[in-house]
Chains A and B, each alone.
Chain A
Amino acid sequence: MTAVSTSAGAIGASELLALYEQMAVIRRTEKAAHDLFLAGLVKGTTHLAAGHEAVAVGASASLRPDDYVFATYRGHHHAIARGATPEECLAELMSKATGVCKAKGGSMHLTKASAGMLGSYAIVGAHLPLAAGAAWSAKLRGSGQVAVAFFGDGATNIGAFHEALNIAAVWALPVLFICENNLYMEYTPIGSVTAVPSPAADRAPAYAIPAEVIDGNDVVVVAGAVARAVDRARSGGGPTVLEARTYRHFGHSRTDPATYRPPEEVQEWLQRDPLDIARARLAALGVPVEAAVAADDRAAQLVESAVAAARAAPPPDPSEALTDVWADGGSRWRT
Chain B
Amino acid sequence: MADMSGRAADPTREPGQTVTYREAVAEGLARELRRDPAVVCLGEDIGAAGGVFKTTQGLFEEFGPGRIWDTPISEQAILGLAMGAAMTGMRPVAEIMFSDFFAVCWDYLANEIPKMRYMTGGQVTVPLVVRTANGGGLGFGAQHSQATENWTLAIPGLKIAAPSNPADVVGLMASAIRSEDPVVFFEHKGLFASKGPAAPDGHVIPLGQAAIARAGSDITIVALAATVPMSLAAADLLAAEGASAEVIDLRCLVPLDMATVLASVDRTSRLLIVEENPYQGGWGGTVASIVADEGFELLDAPVRRVAAASVPLPFADALEQQVIPTVDSVAAAIRALLAY
Contact = CB atoms under 8 A, between A and B. Distances in A.
A140 B40 contact: yes
Interface residues of B, number: 50
B33 to A, nearest CB: 13
Contacts of B86: 133
Contact of B118 (A104, A129, A131): A104
Interface in B235-290: 254-260, 290
Interface in B110-129: 111-112, 116-125, 127
Given A111-B124, A137-B85, A164-B77, A325 B117 contact: yes
Interface in B189-232: 208
Interface residues on A, range: 35 or more
Interface in A192-236: none
Interface stretch (B16-24, B87-95, B136-144): B87-95
B76 A326 contact: no
A141 B72 CA distance: 22
A126 B77 contact: no
A166 B117 contact: no
A99 B120 CA distance: 10
Contacts of A134: 84-85, 87-88
B157 interface: yes
Contacts, number: 162
A327 B254 CA distance: 14
Interface string A301-335: 00000000000000000000001111111011111
Given A130-B112, A335-B208, A102 B81 contact: no
A130 B79 CA distance: 8
A127 B180 CA distance: 21
A26 interface: no
A104 B121 contact: yes
A102 B40 contact: no
A137 B88 contact: yes
A207 B75 CA distance: 18
B72 A170 contact: yes
B15 interface: no
A102 B120 CA distance: 8
Contacts of A331: 156
Nearest to B259: A335
Interface stretch (A10-18, A56-64, A114-122, A285-293): A114-122
A133 B84 contact: yes
A65 interface: no
A109 B89 CA distance: 21
Nearest to A103: B121
Contacts of B124: 111, 113, 118-119
Given A333-B256, A335-B259, A164 B80 contact: yes
Contacts of B66: 140
Interface string A141-177: 1000001000000000001100110110011000000
Contact of B256 (A103, A127, A329, A334): A334
A136 interface: yes
Contacts of A105: 119-121
Contact of B181 (A136, A171, A327): A327
B82 interface: yes
A279 to B, nearest CB: 35
Contacts of B29: none
Contacts of B117: 324-327
A164 B118 CA distance: 25
Contacts of A106: 119
A326 B114 CA distance: 9
A101 interface: yes
A105 B122 CA distance: 10
Contacts of A329: 122
Given A101-B123, A324-B121, A119 B116 contact: yes
Contacts of B259: 335
Contacts of A324: 117-118, 121-122
B227 to A, nearest CB: 19
12 contacts: A102-B122, A111-B120, A118-B87, A118-B124, A123-B111, A126-B107, A138-B88, A160-B76, A163-B76, A333-B156, A334-B254, A334-B290
Interface of A: 68, 70, 99-106, 109, 111-114, 118-119, 121, 123, 126-138, 140-141, 147, 159-160, 163-164, 166-167, 170-171, 323-329, 331-335
List the 8 shortest-distance A-B pairs measured between CB atoms, nearest first.
A129-B80, A133-B84, A102-B121, A327-B180, A133-B81, A163-B77, A130-B84, A335-B259
